[in-house]
């Protein structure tokens, strides 16, 4: 039996997701927002968007939320095959225990069930977040580009934002 269970996130769980995001942001600094830049309305907004045609999943141990991942559709029909605005957060106490990888695997499985079919998943990663970039590459994401000087770190340095994408073969073999 796994130490955690992955299941769909519900809008009513926004307070737990907010607490998780604040803890994750205070820890490794992998999230774009600082803890004080997140509130319930922010979380309710991204959950609503993900739940309206995308994916939001939580990793739970009992009633404790260990991690969350979400991605959403980005708009016009020409992008209906794309999941974007992807964010993953893992509680610092659970980092390094396979929660992030398990959340991604569950996201891929959930995305395969969506209609219209998803054939691309994309995310952004701060260049200084090497551990996350290595995980994303191990999962099959490739670097699509760099936005030089886009991210200002808390200490004032500027870093590139790394655009990454994963192509998923469409049913019938075409990506």
In this predicted model, what pLDDT tens digit does every residue of 29-56 receive, in sequence order?
678 898 999 999 999 999 999 999 999 9
The tokens of 68 are what?
Answer: 């969350």
In this predicted model, what pLDDT tens digit does every residue of 115-139 receive, in sequence order?
999 999 999 999 999 989 999 999 9
- Which residues are within 8 A (CB) of 22 and not within 5 positions of it... i.e. 6 or more apart? 35, 38
Domain 5-167 sits in CATH 3.30.70.260: no
Measured CA to CA, the distance from residue 145 to residue 124 in angstroms comes to 10
**Max intra-chain CA distance, the chain:** 49
Helices (H), the chain: 14-26, 40-51, 99-112, 130-138
The answer to whether the predicted template modeling score (pTM) of the entire model surpasses 0.85 is yes
- Whether the ω angle into residue 116 lies within 30 degrees of 0, i.e. cis, is yes
Residue extents of the structural domains in the chain? 5-167
């Amino acid at each position: 039996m796994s130490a955690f269970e992955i299941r769909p996130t519900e809008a009513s769980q926004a307070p737990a997701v907010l607490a998780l995001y604040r803890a994750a942001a205070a820890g490794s600094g992998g999230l774009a927002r600082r803890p004080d830049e997140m509130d319930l309305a922010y979380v309710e907004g991204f959950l609503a968007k993900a739940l309206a045609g995308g994916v939001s999943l939580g990793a739970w141990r009992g009633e404790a939320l260990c991690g969350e991942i979400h991605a959403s559709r980005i708009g016009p029909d020409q992008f209906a095959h794309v999941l974007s605005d992807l964010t993953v957060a893992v509680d610092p106490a659970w980092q390094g225990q396979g929660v992030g990888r398990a959340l991604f695997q569950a996201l891929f499985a959930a995305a395969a069930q969506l209609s219209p079919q998803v054939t691309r998943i994309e995310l952004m990663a701060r260049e200084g977040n090497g551990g996350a970039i290595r995980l994303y590459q191990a999962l099959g994401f490739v670097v699509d580009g760099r936005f030089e000087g886009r991210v200002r770190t808390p200490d004032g340095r500027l870093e590139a934002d790394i655009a990454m994408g994963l192509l998923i073969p469409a049913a019938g073999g075409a990506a």
